[in-house]
Amino acid sequence: MNATNNNPIIAVKDLTIRFGGHAAVDQVSLEVMPFTLKSIIGPNGAGKTTFFNLLSGQYKPTGGKVFLKGKDITNLSAPMRCRLGLGRSFQLTNIFPLLTVLENVRLAIQARKGYGFNFWRHYLHFSACEDEAYQILKEVLLDEKWLYPANLLTHGEQRKLEMAILMALKPEILFLDEPTAGMSQEEVPAILEILERIKSMGDKTILLVEHKMDMIMNLSDSIAVLQDGRLIADSDPETIYRSKEVQEAYLGGGAKRE
Ligand SMILES: Nc1ncnc2c1ncn2[C@@H]1O[C@H](COP(=O)(O)OP(=O)(O)OP(=O)(O)O)[C@@H](O)[C@H]1O
């Protein structure tokens, strides 16, 4: 079944995972509509990253189901889900530090196209991949650093590169786990601009875990709130911001709208 604007692209039903006796994600049911941006918020330890791991297939749930375009993908591996269009950022673990910025993105394009890493066999495709890589670097505002080895980038630039690598894989759905984590204040607006650009392209569904409330309020079409593994709210940003329950669980507990 294909997703239309009336059908969710992702749906989870009673999704649960237990570690020992503790339910890190506890009977969560929610839907994500295609081409929208949904943020997942919640206090530390609420289960946000675990929820992402369940969606992308890194973890298998102890209960419940995950659907992609109406198809039950609960038992599919992470690589299978990736092939179906789910793209997940991995907090810098997928960057080759000694390769240049452009090479990092080009390799992701080659992987997507199934060219492998044999440059010579696919020599004719090589410059097309480079052109595409450069174009993606422009989209994430990193084109000026295309010739830098990845390990010489600042932390914020590496997060941009990570996003470029993810974009190069052309996923239909992007899972972004705290793209501004560990960044200096000056680096945050660039990431915000990149997210706005990706969103305005209108061809991606985005799930975002992020702690910066101001950023989430302006970017999100909807916000889901987790607390102790449970979904306590899922609505439009303004409703979430006004919710007493959310304020008590989260906003009052540290995060402020700046
Ligand atoms: N592999 C694991 N084994 C045991 N417990 C785990 C595992 N992964 C997560 N947990 C526990 O599940 C709970 C949720 O953790 P998770 O990292 O998903 O929270 P989070 O909302 O992403 O937190 P933060 O905002 O601090 O990143 C925590 O109590 C954590 O200790």
Residues 151-205: pLDDT tens digits?
Answer: 999 988 998 999 899 889 889 999 998 888 888 888 888 888 889 988 998 999 9
Closest CA to ligand 1's atom 11: 24
Query: 47 alpha carbon to ligand 1 midpoint, in Å?
Result: 5
In short, whether 46's Cβ falls inside 6 Å of ligand 1 is: yes
Q: What whole-number percentage of the chain has pLDDT above 90?
A: 57
- Neighbouring C-beta atoms of residue 236, cutoff 10 Å: 11
Mapped to the 3 state alphabet, what secondary structure does the chain carry? CCCCCCCCCEEEEEEEEEECCEEEEEEEEEEECCCCEEEEECCCCCCHHHHHHHHHCCCCCCEEEEEECCEECCCCCHHHHHHCCEEECCCCCCCCCCCEHHHHHHHHHHHHHCCCCCCCCCHHHHHHHHHHHHHHHHHCCCHHHCCCEHHHCCHHHHHHHHHHHHHHCCCCEEEEECCCCCCCCCCHHHHHHHHHHHHHHCCCEEEEECCCHHHHHHHCCEEEEEECCEEEEEECHHHHHHCHHHHHHCHHHCCCCC
pLDDT band with cut points at 50, 70 and 90 for residue 257: very low
Query: 185 CA distance to ligand 1 centroid (A)?
Result: 26
pLDDT at 243 over 80: yes
Q: Which residue has the least CA distance to atom 7 on ligand 1?
A: 19
**253 C-beta closer than 6 A to ligand 1:** no
Report the mean per-residue pLDDT for the chain.
88
CA distances (Å), origin 168, targets 40, 111, 131, 242:
24, 9, 12, 38
For the stretch 74-109, pLDDT in tens is 999 998 898 898 887 665 567 899 999 999 999 999
Q: Whose CA is nearest to atom 31 of ligand 1?
A: 45
pLDDT higher than 60, residue 250 = yes
CB of 49 shorter than 6 A to ligand 1:
yes
- From the CB of 252, is ligand 1 less than 6 Å away? no
Q: What ipTM is given for this predicted complex?
A: 0.95
Tell me the pLDDT tens digit for each residue of 104-135. 999 999 888 877 656 566 666 778 899 999 99
pLDDT band at 8 (very low <50, low <70, confident <90, very high): very high
- Give the Cα separation of 102 and 131 in Å (integer): 9
Q: Say if CB 42 and CB 216 are below 8 A apart.
A: no
β-partners of residue 12 are: 30, 66
Sign (positive/negative) of CA torsion 54, 107, 97, 162? negative
pLDDT band at 48; cut points 50, 70, 90: very high
State which ligand 1 atom lies nearest to the alpha carbon of 20: 4
Given ligand 1 and candidates 17, 41, 49, which is best to mutate, with the most ligand atoms within 8 Å of its CB?
A: 49
How much distance in Å is there from the Cα of 112 to the middle of ligand 1? Answer: 31
- Amino acid 22: pLDDT: 95
CB 150 within 8 A of CB 99: yes
Site to substitute for ligand 1 among 50, 55, 62, 227, most atoms within 8 A of C-beta: 50
- Asked whether the whole model's pTM tops 0.95, one would answer no
Domains in the chain: ranges and CATH: 88-170 (3.40.50.300)
Q: Is 254 in the pocket of ligand 1 (CB under 6 A)?
A: no
Instruction: Name 258's Cβ contacts closer than 8 Å, sequence gap at least 6.
Output: 212, 213, 214
User: What mean pLDDT do residues 59-73 have?
Assistant: 96
- pLDDT of 189 reads 87
